[in-house]
Amino acid sequence: MKLIRKTLSIIPLFNGLSSEQLDEIGAITVERRYGRGDSIFMEGDAADGFYIVADGQVKIFKTSLEGKEQILHIYGPGNPFGEVPVFSGRRFPANAVALVGSRILFLPRGAFVDLIARHPSLSMNMLGELSMRLREFTVQIENLSLKEVPSRLASYLIYLASEQETANRVTLKISKGQLASLLGTIPETLSRIFAKMTAQNLIRVEGKTIRLLDPLGLEDLAAAGKLAE
């Protein structure tokens, strides 16, 4: 219980809430543990609450009938997920699995909706969170429909650099296969693009670390959509 309360206090969704309000949330929160590869929920499952990653990493994805997978998000500590059916539809619109052993907080729907109705700052935070997700999806749809894969990769590296607050070096926290799926391509194509971008001195790959050698060149590539021949 003490650990839950401590985790809640550092979750961005709950920024600006008073200590008493965090206690109220702590009182309805349940902690669950998942092993690597464990399913947390499947698309179409009835949703009786939503989740927050306390420790670990979670993949949110859709699959086609043929088993092809499109990753929608990879979430880490502090990120809420599965909150859409709390407010609309009542069923999960995608699948969630733990990518590593994970400690996950579960917040039951009814009690949480009741808290939101009583605490305007919580509802404003939740509106900000959902709006940010909509913004991310807008970018992802643009990437899938309007950009070639090299340009998607350049956009993603720039996004990581700003998220990790490192100007010229990013750390990949997901496998190359997962990155390929996130960008809507296959690992073989992604490897070829990494090789080509390396040959053009745009990046240098050092294991999980990627050095951004030419940030301006990457921004051009992200905007233009095509890699020079």
Which residues in this chain contact a second copy in the complex, by CB under 8 A?
62-66, 68, 70, 72, 83-89, 93-94, 113, 116-118, 120-121, 123-124, 126-135, 137-142, 144-147, 184, 223-225
Nearer to a second copy by Cβ, of 139 and 172: the residue is: 139
Cα–Cα distance measured from residue 54 to residue 33, given in angstroms and rounded to the nearest whole number: 10
Nearer to a second copy by Cβ, of 116 and 160: the residue is: 116
**What is the nearest approach in angstroms of a second copy to the Cβ of residue 6?**
27
Nearer to a second copy by Cβ, of 133 and 176: the residue is: 133
Nearer to a second copy by Cβ, of 93 and 101: the residue is: 93
**What is the nearest approach in angstroms of a second copy to the Cβ of residue 14?**
16
**What is the nearest approach in angstroms of a second copy to the Cβ of residue 22?**
19
**What is the nearest approach in angstroms of a second copy to the Cβ of residue 207?**
28
Nearer to a second copy by Cβ, of 7 and 185: the residue is: 185
**What is the nearest approach in angstroms of a second copy to the Cβ of residue 52?**
17
